[in-house]
Amino acid sequence: MILSTTSNLQTHQITRYLGIVSGKEIVYSTASSMKEVLDSFKDIMGLKKHKDSLEYAQTSAMEELKAQAESLGADAVVGISLDVEFYGGPVMVIVTGTAVKL
């Protein structure tokens, strides 16, 4: 499965657009405000904890996106975007893209 943030692939011809696919993951932060998250970045341990959680969420969301694309019979996903939303505790990572056939 080819994954790309661009809307086309230089080395492949897109023959069909199959639809929008997405993946989501929520991780829970012990911080109750964005200020606490930013303050934790000053502390090496806090930084590592948040970095690991966000990396897990991104990886999990990308796996869900790929699974959706594969279920449509896609060869690639183009135009991938990643969004991170902070809700005062939970952090949601959302990835979206367009599943395509090459």
Within a 10 A sphere around the Cβ of 74, how many other Cβ atoms? 24
Domains, the chain, in order of start with CATH, read 2-101 (3.30.110.70)
State mean pLDDT over 68-89: 92
Q: What pLDDT does 2 receive? A: 96
Tens digits of per-residue pLDDT, 16-63?
999 999 999 988 765 555 555 555 555 545 555 566 778 888 999 999
Q: pTM, whole model, 2 decimals?
A: 0.77
